[in-house]
Amino acid sequence: MIAKSKRDIAFPYLLLFLCVCLAISLLVAVSLGAVKIPIADTYQIIIKQLFHIGNVDHIAKSTIAIVWNMRNPRVIMGLIAGAGLALCGSTMQTTVNNPICEPYILGISAGATFGATLLIILGLKSFIGFGAFLGAIIATIIVLVIASVGKKITTTSLVLSGVVVNALFSAISNFIISIGANSDNMMTIKFWTMGSLASSSWGSIVIPFITILVACVFFMTQHRIMNAMLMGDEVAITLGISLQKYRMIYMLIIAFITGILVSSCGIIGFVGLITPHIARALVGTSHQKMIPISVILGSLFVIWADVLARCLLPNAELPIGIFTALVGAPFFVYIVIKNQKGG
């Protein structure tokens, strides 16, 4: 009880601290890149554009364009993508009661990759986002259909169905690439499957922003049901919770969010795996506290991974998924070893 009360007291301060870190990270991330811009100039440009306060006549127009039209949308998309992926990871780990689950492990991202790859090979690059979104939805429906064959969706059936669907769509995508990809298509597919925020614009962040905002509000209202899910199927059923209904609803929402994010910035893996675990370690398993902390941590993770992708090599940009995987893969191994020791 003492440890719990200490966490309750510390939660507002932790939330405030992370919000301040996020605000500073946004400002610094906009300033960094191939062209380094002083943080003071970045601040003045943003304030001028938002509130029409101050004077930016001493700053070159090209610098203003870089900050406002190129880097700001990109960094905000990183914030949105990180928040959405962390939210999906938190929800999915609770839904299937498995600490190593996220959209990329349960086949949703493999479906999105299949949809995007197919349209790239067909030359319909203008519709890549729609293809990725549709692929994510189709993959999720297949997972739910396979998992509900026994008339009852269980955590085990969801995980196994996800593994099967992931393998299936990955194999089909690789087959399509092997028979139809040229060098130009391969470059597009590479950046799509490894994730990139380079194509972000003010217009492209509107739908993801609204989607993630609504989803965050919705799942915050579901914290009691999600807390009950963590207690196990028997306890949840005893409390009168229809697990099958909520699992289907949550999985479809996760698929919708994943489809939107993949259509905007490609595949960025492991964010939904890492951040929920860190959030639980900081504030416990209560979703009322864990979800907001996880969302902010996810945003921070993706923002700084994108900074590394832009700045690590001069005159070149790396896919953001490389850096999330470099952190995520060892973390995944750590979780598996920890669970085995705990079991």
Q: Best-predicted range by mean pLDDT among 24-33, 34-43, 223-232, 240-249?
A: 24-33
Is the pLDDT score of 55 beyond 90?
A: no
Closest CA to 210 of 315, 108, 76: 76
Mean pLDDT for 32-56 is: 89
Using CA atoms, how far residue 63 sits from 104, 116, 163, in Å, is: 37, 34, 47
* Inter-residue contact 294 to 87 (CB < 8 Å): yes
Mean pLDDT for 144-161 is: 77
Q: Which amino acid is at 245?
A: K
* Inter-residue contact 284 to 15 (CB < 8 Å): no
State the pLDDT at residue 1.
Answer: 43
Angle at 178 between CA 139 and CA 327, to 5 degrees: 60
Percent of the chain with pLDDT strictly greater than 70? 94
Instruction: Report the chain's terminal Cα–Cα distance, integer Å.
Output: 25
239-254 per-position pLDDT tens digit: 888 888 898 899 889 8
Higher pLDDT, 157 or 44: 44
| CA pair distance 328, 105, nearest whole angstrom | 12
CATH architecture designation of domain 79-342: Orthogonal Bundle (1.10)
DSSP H helical segments within 232-270, as ranges? 233-238, 243-265
> To 10 degrees, the CA torsion angle through 55, 56, 57, 61?
-160
| CA pair distance 77, 247, nearest whole angstrom | 28
Tell me the average pLDDT of the chain: 86
172-187 per-position pLDDT tens digit: 988 888 887 677 777 7
Q: Which amino acid is at 271?
A: V
> To 10 degrees, the CA torsion angle through 179, 182, 188, 191?
70
pTM (predicted TM-score): 0.88
State the pLDDT at residue 4.
Answer: 58
Mean pLDDT for 73-101 is: 91
